[in-house]
């Protein structure tokens, strides 16, 4: 579990499960504000609100650090002499939750009825100041849907 989600208990007929934390709800609203401002600047009008459209999303996640520095260092003495000081080369980043959060926030912001309409998502992790760049476009639905289906 991370700071975005909390476990909920069922009481008063409610189901137990997982929900957004208060911090995540505030952040989602911040993302919504930023997306609303930037979307108008970048695209003007973007087709949304139609449950029939198919979208593709490119997400570039920027991190200040992606490699563990001690990966390049080795022990020089003792039982571990010659072994690397770090167990893994790359920093452990849980991008799956970040991607889901970004997808949900953008869908809510620009009135895409459901993130099930995003048929293709590309994710890149790059070095840079913390942040994300998201590109959303209409996908060619012929690549994904039944060719004989009448629309």
Domains and CATH numbers, the chain: 5-143 (3.30.1330.70)
With b for 16 or more beta-carbon neighbours within 10 A and e for fewer, the 47-82 pattern comes to: ebeeeeebbbbebebeeeeeebeeeeeeeeeeeeee
Question: What pTM did the predictor assign?
Answer: 0.66
pLDDT tens by residue, 13-64: 666 666 667 777 787 777 767 666 665 444 555 676 777 888 888 988 889 9
Cβ-based neighbour number of residue 129 at 10 Å: 7
- What's the mean pLDDT in 99-120? 81
pLDDT tens by residue, 115-150: 888 888 899 999 999 888 888 888 887 777 766 655
């Amino acid at each position: 579990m991370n700071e975005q989600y909390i476990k909920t208990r069922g009481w008063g007929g409610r189901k137990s499960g997982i929900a957004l934390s208060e911090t995540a709800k505030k952040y989602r609203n911040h993302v919504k504000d930023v997306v609303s401002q930037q979307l108008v600047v970048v695209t003007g009008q973007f087709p949304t609100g139609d449950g029939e459209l198919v979208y593709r999303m490119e997400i570039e996640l920027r991190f200040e650090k992606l490699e563990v520095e001690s990966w390049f260092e080795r022990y020089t003495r003792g039982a571990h002499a010659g072994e690397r000081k770090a167990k893994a080369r790359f920093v452990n980043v849980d991008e799956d939750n970040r991607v889901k959060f970004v997808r949900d926030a953008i869908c809510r912001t620009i009135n895409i009825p459901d993130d099930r309409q995003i048929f293709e998502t590309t994710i890149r992790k790059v070095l840079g100041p913390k942040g994300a760049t998201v590109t959303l476009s209409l996908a060619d639905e012929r690549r994904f849907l039944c060719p004989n289906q009448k629309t």
